[in-house]
Amino acid sequence: MINLQQTGDLEQIRLEACINNFTPPKRLYNASFDNYLNKTEQQKKAFNACKEYSLYDLKAGKGLLLAGSYGTGKTHLAVATVRNLISQRPDLFGVKHKENSHIYPMGGIQEYRGAYCFYVSMVELLESLRPNSVRGQEYGEWIFHRAKADDLLVLDDIGTEKPSEWVEEKIYSLIDIRYRMNRATIFTTNYTEKQLEAQLGGRTISRIYEMADSYSVVGPDHRRKGA
């Protein structure tokens, strides 16, 4: 006989495990649609698009690009979108383990099969890939693998990286595989399309604009008191 209390507990455990597996930034761990304020029409439009983002969109590889000035809530909306999806059907989402890893010791934590979600900022991703990265090569490879392979990626703050041939090549290889495999990606950026093109190269930007519907998130800087 099914113990309903237990079923509820298990669902909650899976929900939390899947959200942790998504690795949202600690400061925005609880970012949701309930605690987002729409102060401008553009914010409302972006908010609605994020709120409507569905499991069908994820499966279809549809992405979002949230562009705008700092502090307008782009990362907040991106995290809330993923939290909302996982909360609707935690049974469809997964937790990925890295075997024999000293980086992510998962001892005792259940591994779940399902759609994997992953948050990473572009700067952190590139830093972890550098040959002299403080956290070592294995960590960088794991992060890059997840960014390429997970079913839904939040790629935060594109365009802030210092351009170089190496940076352009790494970003292109990430975007191109997600593009070819039709994997859903939510991008955030402070930059315009033109600036991104100069920063990341035309081939990468062309793919990003096909992969994602873009919204401008215009509003006051929420980090400043009284905004």
Ligand X SMILES: Nc1ncnc2c1ncn2[C@@H]1O[C@H](COP(=O)(O)OP(=O)(O)OP(=O)(O)O)[C@@H](O)[C@H]1O
Residues of this chain that interact with ligand X (CB under 6 A) are 28, 31, 35-37, 43, 70-76, 157, 188, 190, 222-223
222's contact among Mg ion, ligand X, none, with CB below 5 to 8 A by partner kind, is: ligand X
37's contact among ligand X, Mg ion, none, with CB below 5 to 8 A by partner kind, is: ligand X
Asked if 73 contacts 190 with a C-beta cutoff of 8 angstroms, the reply is no
| Options 11-19, 75-83, 86-94, 125-133: segment touching Mg ion (CB under 5 A) | 75-83
Distance between CA atoms of residues 29 and 25, nearest Å = 6
71's contact among ligand X, Mg ion, none, with CB below 5 to 8 A by partner kind, is: ligand X
Q: Which residue is nearest to Mg ion (CB)?
A: 75
Distance between CA atoms of residues 132 and 8, nearest Å = 45
Shortest spacing between CB 167 and ligand X, in angstroms: 19
Q: Which residue is nearest to ligand X (CB)?
A: 73
190's contact among ligand X, Mg ion, none, with CB below 5 to 8 A by partner kind, is: ligand X
Angle (deg, nearest 10), helices 202-211 and 193-200: 130
> Euclidean distance between the first and final Cα of the chain, in Å?
54
User: Does 128 sit near Mg ion (CB under 5 A)?
Assistant: no
C-beta closer to ligand X: residue 51 or 89: 51
| Options 26-34, 59-67, 69-77, 79-87: segment touching Mg ion (CB under 5 A) | 69-77
Angle (deg, nearest 10), helices 165-180 and 137-149: 40
AA letter at 119: Y
Shortest spacing between CB 189 and Mg ion, in angstroms: 9
C-beta closer to ligand X: residue 159 or 201: 159
Helix, coil or strand: residue 93: strand
User: Does 75 sit near Mg ion (CB under 5 A)?
Assistant: yes
Alpha-carbon Rg for the chain, nearest whole angstrom, is: 18
C-beta closer to ligand X: residue 3 or 35: 35
User: Does 121 sit near Mg ion (CB under 5 A)?
Assistant: no
Identify the CA nearest to 153 among candidates 127, 130, 179: 179
Query: What count of other Cβ atoms lies within 10 Å of the Cβ of residue 126?
Result: 23
Asked if 74 contacts 217 with a C-beta cutoff of 8 angstroms, the reply is yes
Residues near Mg ion (CB under 5 A) are: 75
